[in-house]
């Protein structure tokens, strides 16, 4: 490598280094410690208009056959009851095609007295939850039965 090429290479490295260090100058304000992170996010983030309303749980309960049996015999479901009783503000029963808000919510008695129906329209319930503006829980055995398309049980809900 010739002398000229070496000097040209050294000059290019020097210019690139200067540009790199210049981009890291103190002209760009950066927080010294973490106490400014909240202010940074507030100043640079857009407010979300679709905030979920907290402390207003909507509980959607599947009244299908397996749920009626599960609420009576499953230690898992029975242990969930106190948590749902404390948190639920709005109670929806899913009985067949009917999704109905029950008034008063009386979550405790409703969960212990689930009456059996042939199936529950979980797809519509999931759509209502997805389009809602509040916290929501779907208490279900997860068995989706689609009466409109086929008599087969399918493990997934497509919204």
**Domain ranges within the chain, ordered by starting residue:** 53-154
Question: Stretch 140-153: mean pLDDT, rounded?
Answer: 63
Provide the CB-side half-sphere exposure for 137 (13 A, CA): 18
Q: Higher pLDDT residue, 30 or 40?
A: 40
CA distance readout (Å), 109 to 68, 81, 122, 125, 149? 13, 10, 22, 21, 35
Residue 45 phi/psi, 5-degree rounding, is: -100, 145
H or E segment and range at residue 55: strand 53-62
- pLDDT, tens digit, 9 for 90 and up, residues 84-124: 898 899 999 999 889 999 987 789 888 888 888 888 888 89
């Amino acid at each position: 490598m010739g002398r000229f090429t070496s000097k040209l290479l050294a000059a290019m490295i020097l210019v690139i280094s200067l540009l790199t260090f210049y981009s890291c100058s103190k002209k760009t304000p950066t927080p010294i410690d973490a106490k400014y992170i909240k202010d940074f996010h507030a100043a640079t983030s857009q407010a979300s208009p679709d905030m979920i309303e907290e402390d207003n749980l909507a509980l959607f309960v599947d009244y299908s056959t397996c749920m009626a049996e599960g609420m009576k015999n499953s230690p898992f479901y029975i242990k969930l009851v106190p948590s749902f009783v404390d948190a639920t503000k709005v109670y929806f029963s899913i009985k067949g095609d009917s999704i109905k808000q029950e008034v008063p919510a009386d979550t405790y008695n409703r969960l212990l007295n689930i009456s059996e129906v042939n199936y529950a329209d979980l797809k519509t319930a999931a759509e209502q939850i997805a389009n809602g503006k509040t916290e929501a829980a779907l208490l279900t055995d997860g068995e989706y039965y689609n009466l409109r398309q086929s008599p087969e049980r399918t493990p997934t809900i497509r919204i």
